[in-house]
Amino acid sequence: MTIDTLKRFLTFSFFCLAQALFFNRIQLFNCAMPLVYVYFALMFPRNHPKWSSLLWCFAMGLTIDMFTNTPGVASFSLTLIGAIQPYLLELFIPRDAEEDMKASASVIGWGKFTTYATIIVLLYCLTFFSIEAFNFYNWQHWLQSIGGSAVLTLILILSLESIRK
């Protein structure tokens, strides 16, 4: 097992435990919940194998599904993010960047990182809450859940990014 795999496994464990033990208990206005584990999908380096990021994201989603009793919702949504993340990352990094560059605010700048994270978080929340609701009967609650959760998640991701090396 390489050091990178061990670090990724520890990060995986940290986000799963943090979400299951702490963040799942936070619900603002009965619709907004922070989904901080999406940050795990943002941290894959530039030329990380796509099959590996898909597998890690699926495993993260499956673990979150087991803790939150949402069968397949988080695993599908996070796998979709794992499939889209490498292509979105290419839009925000310079063409002459290192091959193994990780997306971080210190490398690509706060503006680009915030835009990158916002797109990923909004796509995740849109997919997650659309599959969870599976109908648009109560569309105001659906929009509140997407917007509130995206804002909370983005605030937490940017806070974690500010303390990350």
When comparing pLDDT for 135 and 139, which is higher?
A: 139
Residue 32: per-residue pLDDT: 82
Q: Is 13 exposed, middle or buried (0-12, 13-18, 19+ CB in 10 A)?
A: exposed
Tell me 135's DSSP state: S
Residues comprising the chain, all counted: 165
Q: Token pair of 22, please?
A: 């702490």
What is the reported pTM? 0.88
Write down the domain spans for the chain. 3-163
Gap between the terminal Cα atoms of the chain: 23
Residue 79: per-residue pLDDT: 94
